[in-house]
Chain A
Amino acid sequence: RTLFGKSLSSSKTDVTLDVGDGRKVSGITCLAKHLQRTSAEFRDVSLEDRMQVEQWLEYRLYIESLQDVESERAVLQELNSYLQDKVYFVGHSLTVADILLYHSLHRVFKHLSFHDKERFINVSRWFNNVQHDRRLRQSLTLLPFVRSLLYSGTSSH
Chain B
Amino acid sequence: MGFGDLKSQSGLQALNNFLEDRSYIDGYVPSQADIAVFLAVGTPPPASLPHALRWYNHIASYDSQKDSLPGVRQPIETYGPAGAPATTAAAPAAPKAAAADDDDDLDLFGSDDEETKALKAKRVEDYAARKAKKPVIIAKSNIILDVKPWEDTTDMEEMERKVRSIEADGLLWGASKFVPVGYGIRKLQISCVVEDDKVSTDFLDEEITKFEDLVQSVDIAAFNKV
Partners in one complex: yes
Q: Kindly report which residue of chain B lies nearest to residue A93, judged by CB atoms.
A: B61
CB distance from B71 to the nearest CB of A (A): 15
- Cα-based distance from A129 to B58 in the complex (angstroms): 14
Q: Which residues of B in the span 152-181 have a Cβ within 8 Å of any Cβ on A?
A: none
B78 sits at the interface (CB 8 A):
no
**CB distance B23 to A125 under 8 Å?**
yes
Q: Which residues of A in the span 119-157 have a Cβ within 8 Å of any Cβ on B?
A: 121, 124-126, 128-130, 132-133, 145, 147, 151, 153-154, 156-157
B53 sits at the interface (CB 8 A):
yes
**CB distance A87 to B21 under 8 Å?**
no
A85 sits at the interface (CB 8 A):
yes
When A85-B53, A85-B57 are in contact, do A154 and B108 touch as well, CB less than 8 Å? yes
| Size bin of chain B's contact surface | 20 to 34
Residue with the highest number of chain A CB atoms closer than 10 Å, among B17, B53, B108: B17
- Interface mask (B1-41 → A, CB under 8 Å = 1, otherwise 0): 00000000000011001001111100111000000000000
At the interface, is chain B mostly helix, strand, loop or mixed? loop
Residue with the highest number of chain B CB atoms closer than 10 Å, among A84, A118, A154, A156: A154
Contacts of A6 in B (CB 8 A): none
- Cα-based distance from A157 to B13 in the complex (angstroms): 10
**CB distance A157 to B17 under 8 Å?**
yes
CB distance from A127 to the nearest CB of B (A): 10
**CB distance B62 to A126 under 8 Å?**
no
Contacts of B28 in A (CB 8 A): 128-130, 132-133
B84 sits at the interface (CB 8 A):
yes
**CB distance A92 to B58 under 8 Å?**
yes
**CB distance B23 to A87 under 8 Å?**
yes
Please give 10 more A-B residue pairs, beta carbons under 8 A apart, in addition to A130-B28, A154-B108. A85-B50, A86-B54, A87-B54, A92-B61, A121-B20, A129-B28, A132-B28, A133-B29, A151-B20, A156-B17
